Amino acid sequence: MTGAENGPGDAALAELIVAREVERFLIREVGLLDDRRFEDWIELFAEDGTYWAPARIDQDDPWEHVSLFFDDRELMTTRLARLRHPRVYAQIPHSRTSHTIGNVTVDPPDPAAREYEVTARFVMLDYRPGHGQRSFGGRYDYRLVRDGAGFLIAAKKATLLNCDDVHEAISIPF
Amino acid sequence: MPENGDLSGLVADDRIHRKIFQDPAIFDLEMERIFARSWVYVGHGSQVPEPGDFLCTRIGAQPVVMTRHTDGRVHVLYNRCGHRGVKVVAEERGNARRFVCMYHGWTYDTNGDLDFVTQPEGYPEGRHPDKVRDGMGRVARVDDVCGFVFANLSPEGPGLRDWLGANVICLEDLAASAPDGEVEIRGGVHRYMYRGNWKFQIDNLSDMYHPAYSHESSSRPTGQQFARRKGDKGGIEFREKRGRVKSMDPLGVSALPNGHSWQGGLPQIENTSELHREYVRRLEARLGPERTKDILAKTRHNVIFYPNMAMQELNPHIRVIRPVAADLTEIFVYPIRLKGAPEQMFREQIRILNGTHSASSMVQTDDVEAFARAQEGLSTTGNEWILLARAGPETVDHNTGRVRSIGTSEVAMRNHYATWLSLMSRER
């Protein structure tokens, strides 16, 4: 019989390591949005990566049904370049946001895997001076791929609890 | 609201009074005299394809249900129980054999007739509820053009085709641009709201003066907006070389009787994608090359169906305007699928509509910002008037009553308010 340090303890530790690694990545990712570092945020996406916020709670396809956001990198770039424009009136004054992330799950729980399916819950507060504070929240689904020491986002899906509500203008990604 | 009820002082030749947007009493009167007496767009037949299918919506501020009855006919019902007035249908859409009121279990057919009253023995002789009178109630008139269903709560006044006039052609052309000759509404709906009056959206849809300013942030440094169709060489040009704003005047704007209007159209943008060529081939197979060319020469941008709908041909969709209060409006945007067109074309259409017409769009967000700021700005009392004075040479088509002028003319807006005043001044 081998010692306990070579048994389930290693697997649990490995899972903890990868979970923490992913969590740190996600905290950094949403933090870039809160810090308005939009160009750096786009860089976290793989070349063919997508950012998607469905408009229906059970929506499993971004092509057959409209969405709040469904951006490839090109559209992300167009959208976020607009936020830098001096006359982007819908964002004068601009929103302050705070993304909080939690309940992170990572599959597979293996630090050596190439690709991960990640789920999490999020809350985003959006305060635009003069317009009151709004809260958005729901579920994140990510597909992350290993990239050197870090990750790239192959897909990020943000499903709002009230995705099919009648919203006032939204400018900052969830 | 003027004390004697005379609104004519609020609409002048070249200006309108700010109260039109601010006064809740005027809003209530609009619901009564415009939304309850005009042909209001309700939905498309393809949203209720099967018997029993239903879709909840509003006419003005009133909840209604569009249904397809067992005989295949489309009805529009007031969404209230004949008994105590409880809203009967709570789901936004679905299929039902009958509608059952939650309160006392009264049951209705999908044409609104009262089907069954619970514990009927409780009604004495002569007081038993009546199948029709105590039903959910059908709105007075329902009619459609190419499946686009309009309803009129009033039994009086012109029929739908007379009301729409030349706008009928816009719906027919849209249907003709589908290789199968038919369109359907599919792919869900974008919804957004703004803290402003519903008429700001109507006016904006005929406004070719604003894009280079309001939407400047959606254009590249070259002055061109992002492409609105897959394969398009570019987007709408806001600016010419050296940064001068490009005038939209050559595109023209048209005012039609009953408050309707057209923009444009937009200049042809070359599209050489294989997808587009495949679409053209399919269209030619049905229509031949001549008629296809004719249909593809899209000459109109936004077409307004006064008072609550607009359609756009370039990336086909319709926009429904739902007034909620004098200072609150909801907008619903539905993609339109051209039946028989390549499936991938519809997918691209959906993708681009996300960028242009969602709550997070790169275009509408500027417009709704302008509407909210207008609502706020018009609360000031130093100046009672809004100017609608821009004009240019006009030509009149006497067959249709269409008045065409230069793109940045405010002729269509003046026309909205001429119709507004005429509808609002009718006591019955």
Residue B170 shares a structural domain with residue B137: no
- Quick one: closest CA in A to B369, which residue? A90
Are residues B68 and B210 both part of a single domain? no
pLDDT digit string, tens, across residues B149-179: 999 999 999 999 999 999 999 999 999 999 9
User: Using a CB-CB distance cutoff of 8 angstroms, which residues of chain B are in contact with residue A63?
Assistant: 347, 350-351
Q: Which of A24-38, B65-79, B257-271 has the lowest mean pLDDT?
A: B257-271
Same domain membership, residue B207 and residue B132: no
B278 and B380 both lie in a single domain? yes
- Residue B218 has what pLDDT? 85
B274 in a structural domain: yes
The pLDDT of residue B333 is 98
Q: Domain residue spans in chain A?
A: 4-160
% of chain B with per-residue pLDDT over 90: 85
The predicted structure's pLDDT at residue B230: 64
Blockwise average pLDDT, block size 10, chain A, 174 residues: 60 92 97 98 98 97 97 94 94 97 96 96 97 97 95 98 97 97
Q: Which residue from B minimizes the CA distance to A83?
A: B217
CATH number at residue B238: 3.90.380.10
- Mean pLDDT (whole number) for B124-131: 95
Given B188, B330, B362, which is nearest A66 (Cβ)?
A: B188
Q: Please answer yes or no on whether A70 and B354 come within 8 Å at the CB atom.
A: yes
Tell me whether B144 touches chain A (CB under 8 Å): no
B175 shares a domain with B137: no
Among residues B145, B177, B207, which one ends one of the domains?
B145
Q: Do the Cβ atoms of B359 and A79 come within 8 Å?
A: no
Average pLDDT, chain B: 94
Can you tell me the distance from the alpha carbon of B151 to that of B144, in angstroms, rounded to the nearest whole number?
9
B120 and B237 fall within a common domain: no
Structural domain range at position B396: 164-424
Give the model's pLDDT for residue A2: 45
Chain A residues with CB inside 8 Å of B370's CB?
Answer: 89
Nearest to B188 among A56, A78, A79 (CB): A56
What digits encode the pLDDT tens for the residues B369-378? 999 999 999 9
Name beta bridge partners: B220: none
pLDDT at position A1: 45
Which residue is closest to A173 within chain B, CA to CA?
B360
Q: Flag whether B151 is in a domain.
A: no
Task: Give the pLDDT confidence score for residue B270 in this predicted structure.
Answer: 75
Interface check B365 vs A, CB under 8 A: yes
B46-55, B223-232, B358-367: the lowest-pLDDT one = B223-232
- CB pair distance less than 8 Å for B360 and A85: no
Residue B58 lies in a domain: yes
Q: Report yes or no: B377 at the A interface, CB cutoff 8 Å.
A: no
Give chain A's contact residues with B (Cβ, < 8 Å). Answer: 53, 55-56, 62-71, 75, 78-79, 82, 85, 87-90, 164-171
Does B123 lie in the same domain as B234?
no
Question: Is B3 inside any structural domain?
Answer: no
Alpha carbon distances (Å) from B236 to B233, B275, B296, B349: 10, 21, 17, 17
Domain A4-160 belongs to what topology?
A: Nuclear Transport Factor 2; Chain: A, (3.10.450)
Same domain, B230 and B87: no
pLDDT for A8 equals 66
User: Are residues B78 and B171 both part of a single domain?
Assistant: no
Residue B360 to residue A53, Cβ atoms within 8 A: yes
Give the pLDDT of residue B45.
Answer: 98
Please list every residue in chain A whose beta carbon sits closer than 8 Å to the beta carbon of residue B194. 168-169
Q: Domain tally for chain B?
A: 2
* pLDDT for the residue A7: 62
Give A-chain residues touching B226 at CB under 8 angstroms: 78
Residue pLDDT, tens place only, B277-301: 999 999 999 999 999 998 988 778 9
> Is residue B93 located within the same domain as residue B222?
no
Tell if the CB–CB gap between B188 and A85 is shorter than 8 Å. Answer: no
Tell me if B216 and A85 make a contact (CB, 8 A cut-off): yes
By the CB < 8 Å criterion, does B188 face chain A? Answer: yes
Q: What residues of chain A lie within 8 A of the CB of B359, using their CB?
A: 68, 167-170
* B222 — pLDDT class (breaks 50, 70, 90): confident
The reply to whether B33 falls in a domain is: no
Summarize the confidence of residues B197-209 as an average pLDDT.
96
Do A82 and B218 make contact, defined as CB atoms within 8 angstroms?
Answer: yes
Out of A71, A87, A168, the one facing B193 most closely (by C-beta) is: A168
The pTM for the full model equals 0.94
Minimal CA separation from A151 to chain B, in Å: 27
Å between B358 CA and nearest CA of chain A: 6
